[in-house]
Structures are given as structure tokens and as C-alpha cells.
């Protein structure tokens, strides 16, 4: 934010992460109870997008600190994505493959993050904030799109179950009656 020394900055970074921790617990519990993941991922990413927008446009300390509180909420999305990846695959081999892809793609964040916040753009790092805003917007778009696709697929599976009331296994080896967690 440009006006605090190292110790003050470290101290001021604790409250946003403490709030994020509480939000993670609340959203994880709520998403499990509601058996919904996508809307929670999208909602947290929207909050984070607003935070990055604040960081991108403002130079005032209060506005930027509010932006930090909001932008770290992307970790809520990440914590809900973890169980979502596990619950949207029919078989264990697909689940393992999904986890491998998820973990690999998840490592691009630190690679990109180290390059979009160069020292010469400090202390405000507007460019990095806007790039992060774009990525959190992408999370919103993808989670909503994926949720809609899963809803449509679940409806298709419901129609198939009504037409074929037999219990057993599908052609790809998963139990009949499987439904995706939206």
C-alpha cells in the first residue's frame, strides 16, 4: 500500500486472512449441506474480483485495504474446488486423472504471480491487480458455465433413469444413478 514498513505490513496482512479462514469454514460447511459447489465458487470469485478491481483503481490506503480483504476471498473458491474435483468423476481412475490435471494447472498461479507484480510497478501494482481481476473473472465464468453443464447432464441422466429403471452398472463402469455435484 506504500505507507507501511515491513512489520506493519505483516501485521496488517493477518486480519484479511483470518476473515478468509472463517469464510472458508462457513462456505465449506454451507456448500456441503446444500450439495452445491459451483455457486459458492462463483460467489467467492465475484467477491475477489471486486477486491482486485478496488486494488486496480485506488491508491488510498483504506480502499486498498478493503480490496485486500475482498481479494483474498479467492482462497474460498480454491477450498471449495478441492472437493468438487473429487466429486465430479464417475470412476476412481477418472478422479485420479482429474486431480493430476487440477494440481498441475494449480501450479501455474505461483508462476504467473511472480511475474505480474514486478518491483518497478510498486507500491500499487495496478497492472498485477488487473491481471488478477481478469483471472478471478475467468473463475466466475468457468464455474457458472460448468455448473450449468452439470445441471443439464444431471437432467439427462434423470431422463435416462426414468426410461431404464434397472439397477446396475453403466457402460463406462460407474454405478447407475450417479449424479454430479453441482
Tell me the pLDDT tens digit for each residue of 35-62: 999 999 999 999 999 999 999 999 999 9
Backbone dihedral region for residue 176 (phi beyond 0: left; psi -120 to 50: alpha; all else: beta) = beta
Q: Give the pLDDT band of residue 17 (cuts 50, 70, 90).
A: very high
Residue 169 exposed, middle or buried by CB count within 10 Å (0-12, 13-18, 19+): exposed
pTM for this one? 0.89
Instruction: Identify the CA nearest to 3 among candidates 70, 61, 63.
Output: 61
Q: Give the pLDDT band of residue 167 (cuts 50, 70, 90).
A: low
Q: Using one digit for the tens of pLDDT, what is the confidence trace for 119-149?
A: 899 889 999 999 999 999 999 999 999 999 9
Amino acid at each position: 500500500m506504500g505507507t507501511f514498513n515491513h512489520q506493519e505490513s505483516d501485521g496488517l496482512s493477518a486480519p484479511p486472512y483470518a476473515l478468509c479462514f472463517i469464510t472458508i469454514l462457513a462456505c465449506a460447511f454451507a456448500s456441503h449441506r446444500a450439495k452445491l459447489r459451483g455457486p459458492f465458487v462463483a460467489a467467492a470469485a465475484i467477491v475477489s474480483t471486486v477486491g482486485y478491481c478496488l486494488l486496480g483503481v485506488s491508491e488510498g490506503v483504506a480502499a486498498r485495504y478493503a480490496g485486500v480483504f475482498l481479494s483474498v476471498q479467492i482462497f474460498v473458491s480454491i477450498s471449495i474446488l478441492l472437493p468438487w474435483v473429487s466429486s465430479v468423476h464417475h470412476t476412481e481412475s477418472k478422479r485420479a486423472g482429474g486431480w493430476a490435471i487440477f494440481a498441475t494447472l494449480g501450479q501455474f498461479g505461483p508462476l504467473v504471480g511472480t511475474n505480474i507484480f514486478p518491483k518497478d510497478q510498486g507500491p500499487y501494482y495496478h497492472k498485477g491487480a488487473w491481471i488478477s481481476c481478469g483471472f478471478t473473472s475467468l473463475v466466475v465464468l468457468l464455474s457458472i458455465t460448468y455448473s450449468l453443464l452439470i445441471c443439464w447432464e444431471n437432467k439427462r441422466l434423470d431422463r435416462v433413469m426414468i426410461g431404464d429403471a434397472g439397477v446396475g452398472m453403466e457402460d463406462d463402469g460407474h454405478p447407475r444413478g450417479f449424479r454430479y455435484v453441482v
